[in-house]
Structure 1
Amino acid sequence: MKRSLRPLALVLIAAAALTACSRADSGGSSAPAAANQGAAAELRLGYFPNITHAPALIGLDKGFFAKELGSTKLVTQQFNAGPPEVSALLGGSLDAAFIGSSPAINAFDQSKGATVRLIAGSTSGGAQLVVKPGITTPEQLKGQTIATPQLANTQDVSLKKWLKGKNLAIGAGPDAVTVQNLANPRTLDLFKSGQVAGGWLPEPWSSQLVVQAGATVLVDEKTLWPNGQFPTTVLIVRTEFLEQHPDTVDALLRGEQQAIDFAASNPADAKTVTNAAIKRLTGSTLNQAVLDRAFSELSFGLDPLASTFPQLAKDSVTAGVAPAATDLNGFLDLTELNKILQASGKPTVDAAGLDKAQR
């Protein structure tokens, strides 16, 4: 019996060894499951029909993205607020998105740092607290209703953080400020009818309230940030897409760079192109005074202003829309962006240490 079992044991040992080698080999060969797979068949891109997304609108209208993407099919989808765009990214129905800074942080947080990476900036500035004439101090906001575009969006966080800093309670009643989340066109209508006293709004909506409805600026958000710069719109991609198709991401970034360069060298044409795109997408257009004022409040650039993001993460906690500040280690991946900048002879940008994953 012992002699008959010995060959069987040797066979089992050999089989186990072969299985182990097979697993090791397969693990080694399949480990880079997200390795570079060349150009993507298609790129699904999200954006807003809004002046704060002008680089996206210009890049689409002028064909900069399509030209750089070449054979990669560009599929676009427009959104009106960040949270639905975040859901699309995390659900895998978008590959890249122009999006507000707070929703970008939320996307990173919701996926526990796995699903998205911030790869470039787009727009800085262009957000103000505009109010009805006669309100000249924070104290006069008590008992008033102030609008923001959506719960936990970039402007919602900014307003609530600012109110907390002024020791103003948020809520109902004569001694508190009511914060109401409204679609931007609705805010304009309700402001005109006196049902809201103002709003912390992105362009062009803050300019529309000023130019068309007589609002005044109580707070220009630029005054709250060093050098007057803060990220209003950034570009993020799904991590898997970035790892599998870096060449396609490069093409997207080159298209954005061309759109930003176009806006800088052709400001009048940039306004015209952006306004025409908004009309095509929404059915409405902006009058020249609103357009001029809105563009004067914005600046466009590929630098995502990385050093501001730790403060933005803290602001969400202060505003009461997040329980804790998001750990942003690994949030940025500027590898492809800096390659593009170096190739065009422009200075590279700094990730402020947020490109180092420590999870």
Structure 2
Amino acid sequence: MRRDFLIAALAVGLVAVIALGCLGTDEDKKITTLRIGYQPSTHQVAEMVAMEEGWWLADLAPFGIVKVEDFEFPSGPPEMQAMLGGNLDIAYVGAAPPISAIAQGLDAKIVAAVQMNGSDLVVRPEVDYEGPKSLVGLAVGTFPPGSIQDTVFKKWLQDNGIDPAEIDIKSMGPGDATTAISAKRLDAVFLPHPAPSIIELGGNGRTVVSSGEMWPNHACCCLVVSGKLMREEPELVEQIIKTHIKATEYINANPERAAEIYSAKTNQNLEVVRHSIENWDGAWISDPHVIIPSVAEFARVNYELGYTGSKLLTEEDLFDTSFYDRVKS
């Protein structure tokens, strides 16, 4: 009897130990590696500057971060799929892809702006472009459905009385699209910088419309943070935003240094990067309030295009500006 009692007691104790081990302490749950998603575009050079200058790790170390990793994606939709899969903590991404992802159940919010405008419609030299109707029947490469470029381009076509179905729109990343127009497999592309500069300087196309002309002062890239991080590490999120603001202010004050960092990070020709920064119609910003109106419009357009199912997402679904507001107060 005594032996059975001791065995039972030991079993109960073992279960308790295992349970405590599984539950862990608050310290066990704290994040130590920050995983950042980004794309190889001058739109998102703030992320690259903060990484190259060592600001991410230095600024976040007091909050227990010992490692910062960044992961490159060709466009926003696959980046948001990675975040849906739990593989990213924060993302530098166009403001349209999070709309579709949040509609699919992504637990995340936009907490800061990154950049506005900054994409161009580029046509091959031999294409006789005289306005949007010139594109009817042509093959145009742009980012996948649900991306900023897809949303802006299709809205612009509709605003000009053109059904997007009248154009052969090819979904592809910037590298594939640049190669395709250079090989004359596309008649035009609508891409973020620096791709338009790469195509122009290579003699393979000319810019005919900038995205800021299509949709003045439209939101482009933003900073998205996982809901888990916002709930469990609010002070860490505030510091992430502070570092982002610092990097944004730095690149606006030092565009030449930003070009050098971008060139080194992406192995892109420095002269091409300089040309891109000097000739784009974009602007690097951080205040999320600036982009709320156009992101709400993106949500409406994406809803009408069928990208978000039966739900029209609202500002409250997409944004949490409280972290930025506390940082700036």
TM above 0.5: yes
Q: Deviations over 1:182-210 (max 9, x none)?
A: 22122222212222111111111122222
Q: Secondary structure at the match of 2:260?
A: helix
1:75 is aligned to 69
1:288 maps to what in 2?
271
Aligned residue among 43, 54, 57 for 1:63: 54
Maintained 8 Å contact 2:99/2:313:
no
Alignment counterpart, residue 122 of structure 1, candidates 114, 117, 136: 114
Are residues 1:53 and 2:39 paired?
Answer: no
Please give the per-residue CA displacement for 1:332-357, whole angstroms capped at 9, x wherever unaligned: 11111122222xxxxxxxxxxxxxxx
- Mapped partners of 1:299, 1:37: distance in 2: 41
Q: Compute the RMSD of aligned alpha carbons.
A: 2.3
Task: Report the CA distance between 1:325 and its aligned residue.
Answer: 5.9
What secondary structure, in the 3-state scheme, does the structure 2 residue paired with 1:219 have?
A: strand
61-70 vs 315-324, which moves further: 315-324
Separation (CA, whole Å) in 2 of partners of 1:330 and 1:289: 38
Give the letter aligned to residue 277 of structure 1.
Answer: K
Flag structure 2 segments of 5+ consecutive residues without an equivalent. 1-25
Q: Does 1:311 align with 2:294?
A: no
Tell me how far apart the structure 2 counterparts of residues 100 and 140 of structure 1 sit (CA, whole Å). Answer: 27
**1:29-178 → structure 2 map (5 Å cutoff):** 40-70=31-61, 71-72=64-65, 73-111=67-105, 115-133=107-125, 134-171=128-165, 176-178=166-168
SS for the counterpart of 1:120 is strand
Question: Unpaired segments of 5 or more residues in structure 1?
Answer: 1-34, 280-284, 343-359
Residue number in structure 1 paired with 2:207:
217
- Which residue number in structure 2 is paired with residue 11 of structure 1? none
Amino acid aligned to 1:62: E
1:136 Cα deviation after fit: 2.1
Match of 2:222 among 192, 211, 234: 234
Identity, in percent, stands at 21
Cα deviation code 1:290-328 (max 9, x no counterpart) = 532345422111113112111111222444544556322
Structure 2 match to 1:336 = 323
Shift of the 246–214 alpha-carbon distance from structure 1 to 2, 3 Å rule, reads same
Change (3 A) 1:122 1:36: farther
Cα distance in 2, alignment partners of residues 118 and 36 from structure 1: 27
Structure-2 change in CA distance of 1:327 and 1:317 (3 Å): closer
Shift of 1:242: 0.6
Q: Secondary structure at the match of 1:338?
A: helix
Distance 2:219 2:176 in 1: 25
Shift of 1:82: 1.4
Give the direction of change, closer, same or farther, for the CA distance of 1:36–1:231 in structure 2 (3 Å limit): farther
Letter in 2 for 1:66: L
> 1:53-103 CA distances to partner (integer Å, 9 max, x unpaired)?
111111111111111101403232221121222122122121111111111
The equivalent of 1:300 in structure 2 is 284
Return the alpha-carbon distance in structure 1 between the equivalents of residues 278 and 323 of structure 2. 28
* 1:262–1:108 CA distance, 2 compared to 1 (3 A): same
Query: Conserved in 1, the CA contact under 8 Å of 2:104 and 2:308?
Result: no
Structure 2 CA distance for partners of 1:146 and 1:333, relative to 1, 3 Å: same
Indicate the residue corresponding to 1:184 in structure 2: 174
Aligned to 1:252: 240
Q: Secondary structure, in 3 states, of the residue corresponding to 1:310?
A: helix
Aligned-partner Cα distance in 1 for 2:123–2:112:
33
Contact 1:69 1:251 in 2 (8 A): yes
2:114 touches 2:222 (CA, 8 Å); kept in 1?
Answer: yes
> Paired residue for 1:276?
264
Distance in 2 separating the partners of 1:167 and 1:141: 12
Match of 2:183 in 1: 193
Name the aligned partner's letter for residue 284 of structure 2: F
Q: Structure 1 residues 132 and 319 mapped into 2: Cα distance closer, same or farther (>3 Å)?
A: farther
Q: Distance in 1 between matches of 2:71 and 2:182?
A: 31
Instruction: Tell me by how many angstroms 1:121 deviates.
Output: 0.7
The answer as to whether partners of 1:131 and 1:218 remain within 8 angstroms in 2 is: yes
Q: Which amino acid aligns with 2:296?
A: P
Shift of 1:179: 0.3
How far off its partner does 1:262 sit? 1.1
Do the aligned residues in 2 keep the contact of 1:191 with 1:213 (CA within 8 Å)? no
Show CA shifts across 1:259-283 (max 9, x none): 112112212111111111112xxxx
Residues 119, 211 of structure 2: 8 Å contact kept: yes
Say whether the 8 Å CA contact 2:120–2:191 is kept in structure 1: yes
Q: Residues 128-187 of structure 1: CA distance to partner in whole angstroms, max 9, x if unpaired?
A: 21112321222221221001122321111221222222232334xxxx210011221222
